[in-house]
Homo-oligomer: A and B are copies of this chain.
């Protein structure tokens, strides 16, 4: 009876197997963990949303916590790494690069379901210390390094004023990550709607100008 849950028409039998079970489960779990938090999501719901029975979850994941790990390590991390790679490959002036990085990040993460990960990690960090550490080391700091390097390059090239590039990278990233978190938490309750692209554009404009060496443009 739980065959539903497909955007379009009724699912035909053979389609059942199209997407592999573990992926469906992980996708459902990601959505729910992001929405409600780890403790508050019941495996019952994960199973229902994935279109499987509760028992089936245990064929693929040995515990709720293991499912959480799988969501982060097997799903989020690869995507993040792939995004990181593409982001790291950009070329051009530091100014352009900074803008590219942010916009690419948003395009590849912020607008996708992966954007829930930051909220999830923020919420559950202290309940899953090892995961938190792993996430920080393998995602956060690596991302930070990319942004840091670009700013350092800009400083070296005389585009940006000399400053602490690590801190500047944080300042650059914060509004971007915050937008992702906001989107998955309080945004639905906020009567002041806003357009994230415009917001990021303004942020980039202000940031680049603010960091650039004085000019009379």
Interface positions of A (Cβ within 8 A of B): 35-40, 119, 121-127, 129, 132-133, 135-137, 140-141, 144, 163-164, 166-168, 170-171, 174-175, 177-179, 181-182, 185-186, 188-192, 194, 198-199, 202-203, 205-211, 214-217
Assuming A123-B37, A209-B210, is B194 touching A167 (CB within 8 A)? Answer: yes
17 contacts between A and B (CB under 8 A): A35-B126, A119-B122, A121-B186, A122-B122, A123-B123, A125-B186, A125-B189, A136-B186, A136-B191, A137-B191, A171-B175, A171-B202, A174-B175, A178-B178, A206-B206, A209-B209, A210-B211
Assuming A37-B39, A37-B127, is B174 touching A192 (CB within 8 A)? Answer: no
A127 — which chain B residues lie within 8 A by C-beta? 36-37, 40
The interface residues of chain A, by DSSP majority, are classed as helix
Measured between alpha carbons, how far is A39 from B39 in the docked complex, in Å? Answer: 6
Of B132, B188, B191, B194, the residue contacting A186 (CB under 8 A) is B132
Chain B nearest CB, measured from A111 CB (Å) = 18
Q: Check A198 against B121 for contact (C-beta < 8 Å).
A: no
Measured between alpha carbons, how far is A191 from B121 in the docked complex, in Å? Answer: 16
Measured between alpha carbons, how far is A47 from B40 in the docked complex, in Å? Answer: 21
Q: Check A140 against B190 for contact (C-beta < 8 Å).
A: yes
Extra contacts, 11 of them, besides A37-B37, A170-B194 (Cβ < 8 A), are A119-B123, A122-B182, A132-B185, A132-B188, A132-B189, A164-B198, A164-B202, A166-B192, A170-B199, A177-B178, A206-B210
Chain B nearest CB, measured from A103 CB (Å) = 15
A182 — which chain B residues lie within 8 A by C-beta? 122
